[in-house]
Amino acid sequence: MNRFLSNFTPVLFWVMLHLLLLLPVHSHGSPETSFVRSTGKNFVLNGRLLHVNGFNSYWLMWVASDTDQRHKVTSAFKEAADHGLNVARTWAFNDGNGYHALQTSPGVYDEQVFQRIMTRNNSLNGVVYKDDPTIFAWELINEPRCQIDPSGRTVQRWVKEMASYVKSIDSNHLLEVGMEGFYGDSVPIRKQFNPNGLEFGTDFITINQLPGIDFATVHAYPDSWLAGSDDKVQLLFLKKWMKVHIKDATKVLKKPILFAEFGKSYKDPGYNISERNKFYKTVYENIYKAAKTGKVGGGGLFWQLVAEGMESLADGYEIVLSQNPSTAALVSFQSRRLSALDL
């Protein structure tokens, strides 16, 4: 959850192309030799099902560019691999006055940079990004909202145009939108599941049905969305939130579903680690049950993984696995049992 970009101007989309990267340790530990595919309601890699247990680390690109900090990327990836995590979600763009910035100023974009990202050579293996199977998928944007058009049609038109453009450059990789999962006008009764029943100018159903969108994403931050409510209320919301989205991915979209961001902040009043672990366990249990029973595949990515010595990135949601053994145990357990389903 990019907290500093979470307050959207109503008609402004923050175009933030993200990469979802396959880690060397994924199902059965075999090296990736083909691209991840979306086949029906599941991900498939090298002829086997692939279930995702991963993490967010938006900071990878700019930390890796600093030779004095690059070891933190290595440390974070080692910890992730040691706990069986198989996909990382990170920024694939630069902002402001930086090198080849995608957004040069608020609302002003360099479209050539957008194309250049997908056609850039991977400096480690020399493969052009659009031809690199290390990349799991592209994400168009983080948490789009357009509150002056609660129907979701404005966001839908934008996604339709951009999805077609991305696929015209890169037909190898999966593509998703980066939505939080809010419901819109297509199924009005579903709006009751939005936080406090509010509308956010997106539509989980119609946008994820667009051509070129290969799987659905959902975010889950009941501690932020229902600020001031207690843990019991937040956990009940989470259970309903996941249940309805899994049902819609299974029966309506018929596509995999990735809970691409979830977390619970230790900065919230009354926080305790047992409640955070209960939150993680609930997310993981719902993902696992949906996969095990054959309803729908996909997985989850917690927000966010950092390495030791990265206090400057502390947002309350960060996890240093070596310093959080009880949470790390839940993460490892989820990796093991999802991997056992990769047949």
- Give whole-number Cα distances, 130 to 75, 117, 173, 176, in Å: 27, 9, 7, 15
Q: What single-letter DSSP state applies at residue 29?
A: G
Please state whether the peptide bond connecting residue 304 to the residue before it is cis, i.e. omega within 30 degrees of 0.
yes
Q: Which of 79, 199, 261, 318 is catalytic?
A: 261
Q: How far apart are CA 290 and CA 293, in angstroms?
A: 6
Sequence-ordered list of residues with C-beta below 8 angstroms from that of 114, at least 6 positions apart, any chain: 15, 17, 102
Q: What is the pLDDT of residue 28?
A: 45
Has 261 been annotated as catalytic?
yes
Structure tokens at 254: 């018929």
Q: Which among 77, 76, 17, 88 is positioned nearest to 258, based on CA atoms?
A: 88
What integer pLDDT is reported at residue 114 of this predicted model?
81
Contact of 222 with 238, CB cutoff 8 Å: yes
pLDDT at res. 300: 98
- The pLDDT value recorded for residue 111 is 83
Q: pLDDT value at position 213? A: 98
Partners of 121 in beta bridges: 128
Name the residue range of residue 307's domain: 3-339
254 close to 304: Cβ distance less than 8 angstroms: no
Quote the pLDDT of residue 123.
Answer: 84
> d(Cα 85, Cα 301) in Å, to the nearest integer?
9
Residue 311 known to be catalytic? no
Q: What gap in Å lies between CA 32 and CA 23, rounded to an integer?
A: 9
Q: Looking at the 3D structure of the chain, how many domains does it have?
A: 1
Q: Which two tokens stand for residue 73?
A: 């990327």
- Which residues, 6+ apart, have CB-to-CB distance to 52 below 8 Å? 43, 86, 87, 136, 258, 298, 299, 300, 301, 338
- Say how many C-beta atoms besides its own lie within 10 A of residue 65's C-beta: 13
- Averaged over successive runs of 10 residues, the pLDDT of the chain (343 residues) comes to 31 54 60 82 95 95 88 93 95 79 83 86 90 94 91 94 94 96 95 95 97 98 96 97 98 98 95 96 98 97 95 94 97 98 90
- Spatial CB neighbours of 331, under 8 Å, sequence gap ≥ 6: 53, 83, 84, 85, 280, 302, 321
What is each CA distance from 312 to 148, 303, 306, in whole angstroms? Answer: 35, 16, 10
Location of structure tokens 């932020």: 224
pLDDT of residue 5: 27
DSSP string, 172-192: SSEEE--------TTSGGGGG
Residue from 32, 79, 143, 275 carrying the catalytic annotation: 143
Phi/psi of residue 54, nearest 5 degrees: -140, -155
d(C-alpha 120, C-alpha 102), whole Å: 14
Separation CA 184–CA 190 (nearest Å): 8
- Report yes or no: 320 and 314 within 8 Å, Cβ to Cβ: no
The rounded distance, in Å, linking the Cα atoms of 334 and 299 is: 10
Confidence (pLDDT) at 33: 64
CATH code for the domain of 176:
3.20.20.80
The span from the CA of 143 to the CA of 291, in Å, is 25
